[in-house]
Chain A
């Protein structure tokens, strides 16, 4: 273990804001992309299903 304590780990030798700001934003971007992708897919799926049901009526 290269860290003396968890406080030292979160402090990142005084660079905590920059390091966690980088990793945090990346996590946020990935979560947003995956979330939007899933939402869009469900929207398309529902729309196509609706269109199909009109056709068969």
Chain B
């Protein structure tokens, strides 16, 4: 398999167009299944009652907010190293979705914190580093929007993404490095999860749905970026004869 073949925008565009409906359909089905488990199968929590059900949004959104940033930094590094056009496009396409999930993680966290801790917001290490993540996403989008030359904007944004990725392990380990009000992780690779099986399954399925959604949305955004950037080429001109 020749990866360079798929790195070409003219190959990527139709391929992504074919894949998007599948990822969107998977995201929808997984969301329905995840919500069903989350609301109708998972039992009431013995400490938090029904309030804990925010977990089915909060944890997947928080995971995605960090994961998308790492993927964005990965594409930025590839783009800076090999100057591949599509890598920068992918990095750009991920930023708004990452920002959206970061906002959702913070919002649901506030709505969970109020009844359980008695505060919408506290300046503990987990919450503060997640807020910095939101600023990093918004910052890179603002930076790239402010630079007219797309190639310079790509490189400047990529550099910011590479510096900003340091924040991700800080978020992840903040609950063990500092004494935080935010609880430690209930799910880890080294220990058995400290929650009921059905709760865990609901959460994992919702996380998978968030993945599928992210892929569909990012591919769609990347396609539009490719169209704009390759507008002088014959294949884009031919595309424009069809339907959007």
Which residues from chain A sit less than 8 Å from chain B, CB to CB? Answer: 1-3, 9, 12-15, 17-19, 21-23, 25-26, 29-30, 33-34, 37, 40-42, 44-45, 48-49, 51-52
| A51 vs chain B, min Cβ distance (A) | 7
Q: Which one of B39, B224, B236 contacts A40 once the chains associate, using CB atoms below 8 Å?
A: B224
A–B pairs, 11, beta carbons within 8 Å? A13-B44, A14-B51, A15-B115, A22-B57, A22-B107, A22-B111, A25-B104, A33-B97, A37-B220, A37-B224, A48-B240
A40 contacts across to B, CB distance below 8 A: 224
Q: Which one of A15, A37, A44, A48 contacts B51 once the chains associate, using CB atoms below 8 Å?
A: A15
In the complex, B162 has a CB within 8 A of chain A = no
Report yes or no: A45 in contact with B114, Cβ–Cβ below 8 A. no
Q: How far is the CA of A30 from the CA of B61 in the complex (A)?
A: 12
- Known contacts A17-B111, A48-B228, A49-B240; can you find 18 more A-B pairs with CB under 8 A? A2-B40, A9-B39, A12-B53, A13-B50, A18-B114, A19-B53, A19-B111, A21-B111, A22-B54, A22-B108, A22-B111, A33-B96, A40-B224, A44-B224, A45-B244, A48-B227, A48-B240, A51-B231
| A57 vs chain B, min Cβ distance (A) | 14
A15 contacts across to B, CB distance below 8 A: 49-51, 53, 115
Q: How far is the CA of A14 from the CA of B50 in the complex (A)?
A: 8
| A10 vs chain B, min Cβ distance (A) | 11
In the complex, B103 has a CB within 8 A of chain A = yes
Closest to B96 in A: A33
A1-B40, A33-B97, A42-B244 are known contacts. Are A19 and B54 too (CB-CB below 8 A)? yes
A33-B217, A42-B244, A45-B244 are known contacts. Are A25 and B108 too (CB-CB below 8 A)? yes
| B164 vs chain A, min Cβ distance (A) | 21
For chain B residues 54-72, which have a beta carbon within 8 Å of chain A? Answer: 54, 57-58, 61
